[in-house]
């Protein structure tokens, strides 16, 4: 058995490893050559699965499930950490449920976060509890390069608003000095006291079902034939749904985004708003960059005759955009995004297509229109 085989075997026996170390002291673990924080993490895990509990049967069921799945220590860690985040309810039942997840450790983590978050949302006072956890941590240790690291932890809406404020200043700073990297500009914006800006625009997703068929794309508007034999423009169709603060996006589940209607007060570019709601996150598989911080990517590059039809575009963050193989005829390197039957896929050569499977994508206009 070579080293890689040994490593794979060890990785697939995380639960047995925990049993083996459950009697070891922290010093014994540190003597194995691991960091203090990793030793702490392993001891917490060993305590969960092999420590004393009043729920012996459930604990044993979790051990059996972990063994059957062949989970690594990292997978068990993300499952246990998320189960411990449950604000109210049976942690053991949840742990068993999460042990049924499959995929890479990152995929399991994201799915587990989504499941636990949806439970916690229902708990009375959850917002206040999240607010109570607000903290600024770290910033006390200087590294070899002379820098320090600071973590700001708080409710998602606060942090999103803070980032949005910094983004706004960072865009101005980069326009004035193009040599600034995005990260540098964000830092400068933060250091100059960039304020939080709450920017929430409700986006109503209307999927075009069997009741309407797109007749033509008439420049700035579309004309639909309704199943009662009449025709109606997109603007008339959404006028009833529209409120001063809403944008209403029409999405064809098969073709993709169709058009966006917005109140005059909103100045956000039409295509960006449609694409943001369609994707929610960058379309790069495994990527977590919000669509609003991503770039409008031309699926067919400009220099290859791509045109500014919204259906020829999608959202990719700077990193995924730079990695995208823009030339569909060149030998595949990192793969490229494509729109097929309205949905965005990632293709690399003849490999089966992949997509960004982040759970929040279930709330994207792409997914909603497909379900309607
Ligand atoms: Zn990305």
pLDDT tens, position by position, 296-331 = 888 876 555 555 567 788 999 999 999 999 888 888
Q: Which residue ranges make up each domain of the chain?
A: 3-126, 135-191, 272-371
Query: Ligand 1: distance of its center to the CA of 172 in Å?
Result: 22
Ligand 1 center–CA 101 separation, angstroms: 24
Tell me if 268 sits within 8 A of 275, measured CB to CB.
Answer: no
The answer to whether 17 and 23 have CB atoms below 8 angstroms apart is no
> How far apart are the CA of 350 and the centre of ligand 1, in A?
22
**331 C-alpha to ligand 1 centroid (Å):** 22
Residue (of 25, 14, 134) closest to 74 by Cα position:
14
Report angle CA 270, 275, 279 to the nearest 5 degrees.
Answer: 155
The CA 317 to ligand 1 mean position distance, Å, reads: 4
Distance 324 CA to ligand 1 centre (A): 10
Distance between Cα 316 and ligand 1 center (Å): 5
Top mean pLDDT of 23-27, 121-125, 207-211, 248-252 is at 23-27
Tell how far the Cα of 284 is from the centroid of ligand 1, in angstroms: 5
Identify the three-state secondary structure at position 191. helix
Would strands 150-153 and 135-138 be described as parallel, antiparallel, or unpaired? antiparallel
Distance CA 71, CA 8 (A): 11
Asked whether residue 264 carries a pLDDT value surpassing 60, the answer given is no
Taken as a whole, the chain contains a residue count of 372
| CA dihedral sign, ordered 176, 180, 181, 183 | negative
pLDDT for 360 equals 81
Ligand 1: distance of its center to the CA of 282 in Å? Answer: 5
Residue 64 makes CB contacts below 8 A (sequence gap 6+) with none
| Separation between Cα atoms, residue 67 and residue 319, nearest integer Å | 37
Supply 80's token pair.
Answer: 């246990």
Between the CA of 285 and the centroid of ligand 1 the distance, in Å, is 7
Cα(165) to ligand 1 centroid in Å equals: 21
Q: Rounded CA gap, 297 and 344, in Å?
A: 12
Please state, in angstroms and rounded to a whole number, the distance separating the CA atoms of residues 260 and 277: 10
Tell me the pLDDT band of 249, cut-offs 50, 70 and 90.
confident
Name residues whose C-beta falls within 8 Å of residue 244's C-beta, 6 or more positions apart in sequence.
263, 265
Ligand 1 centroid to Cα of residue 367, in Å, is 18
370 CA distance to ligand 1 middle (Å): 23
Mean pLDDT score, 104-122: 91
Ligand 1 centroid to residue 248 C-alpha, Å: 26
In which band, very low, low, confident or very high, does the pLDDT at 358 lie, cut at 50, 70 and 90?
confident
Report whether 162 contacts 199 (CB < 8 A): no
Task: Output DSSP code: residue 360.
Answer: G
Task: Judge contact between 59 and 53, C-beta under 8 A.
Answer: yes
> Which one, of 204, 344, 353, lies nearest residue 281 by Cα?
344
Residue 101 corresponds to which tokens in the numbers above? 């997840």
Distance from Cα 349 to the centre of ligand 1, integer Å: 20
What percent of the chain shows pLDDT beyond 90?
A: 52
CA distances to 186, 217, 218, 369 from 211, in Å: 47, 17, 20, 14
Average pLDDT of span 23-40: 94
* Percent with pLDDT over 70 in the chain: 84
When the pLDDT of each residue in the chain is averaged and rounded to a whole number, the result is 85
Kind plus residue range of the DSSP H or E element containing 80:
helix 73-84
> Please, what is the angle between helix 36-50 and helix 56-69, to 10°?
120
Cα 315 to Cα 296: distance, rounded to the nearest angstrom: 5
- Separation of 323 CA from ligand 1 center, angstroms? 9
Residue 319 Cα to ligand 1 midpoint, Å, equals 6
Centre of ligand 1 to C-alpha 321, Å, is 7
What is the Å distance from ligand 1's center to 343 Cα? 17
* Residues 41 and 12: beta-carbon distance below 8 Å: no
Q: What is the token pair recorded at 104?
A: 């890479």
Alpha helical stretches, state H, 265-317? 270-279
Ligand 1 centre to CA of 289 (Å) is 6
């Amino acid at each position: 058995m070579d080293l890689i085989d040994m490593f794979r075997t060890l990785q697939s026996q995380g639960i047995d490893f925990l049993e083996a170390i459950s009697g070891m002291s922290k010093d014994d673990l540190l003597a194995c050559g691991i960091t203090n924080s990793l030793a702490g993490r392993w001891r917490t895990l060993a305590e969960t699965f092999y420590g004393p509990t009043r729920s012996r049967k459930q604990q044993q069921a979790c051990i059996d499930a972990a063994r059957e799945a062949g989970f690594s220590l990292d997978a068990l860690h993300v499952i246990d950490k998320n189960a411990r985040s449950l604000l109210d309810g049976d942690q053991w039942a949840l742990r068993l449920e999460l042990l049924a997840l499959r995929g890479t450790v990152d995929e399991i983590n994201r799915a587990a976060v989504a499941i636990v978050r949806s439970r916690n949302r229902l708990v009375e006072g959850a917002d206040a509890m999240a607010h109570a956890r607000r903290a600024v941590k770290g910033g006390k240790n200087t590294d070899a390069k002379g820098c320090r690291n600071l973590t700001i932890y708080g409710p998602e809406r606060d942090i999103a608003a803070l980032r949005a404020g910094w983004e706004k200043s960072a865009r101005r700073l980069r326009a004035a000095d193009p040599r600034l990297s995005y990260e540098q500009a964000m830092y400068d914006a933060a250091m100059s006291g960039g304020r939080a800006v709450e920017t929430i625009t409700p986006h109503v997703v209307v999927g075009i079902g069997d009741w309407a068929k797109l007749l033509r794309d008439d420049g700035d508007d579309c004309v639909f034939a309704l199943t009662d034999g009449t025709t109606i423009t997109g603007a008339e169709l959404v006028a009833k749904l529209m409120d001063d603060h809403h944008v209403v996006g029409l999405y064809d589940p098969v073709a993709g985004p169709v058009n966006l209607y917005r109140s005059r007060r909103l100045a956000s570019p039409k295509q960006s708003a449609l694409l943001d709601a369609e994707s929610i996150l960058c379309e790069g598989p495994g990527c977590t960059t919000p669509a609003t911080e991503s770039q409008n990517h031309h699926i067919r590059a400009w220099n290859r005759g791509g045109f500014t039809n919204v259906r020829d575009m999608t959202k990719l963050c700077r990193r995924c955009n730079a990695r995208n193989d823009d030339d569909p005829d060149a030998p595949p390197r990192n793969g490229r995004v494509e729109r097929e039957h309205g949905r965005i896929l990632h293709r690399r050569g003849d490999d089966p297509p992949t997509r960004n499977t982040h759970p929040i994508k279930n709330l994207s206009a792409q997914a909603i229109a497909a379900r309607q």
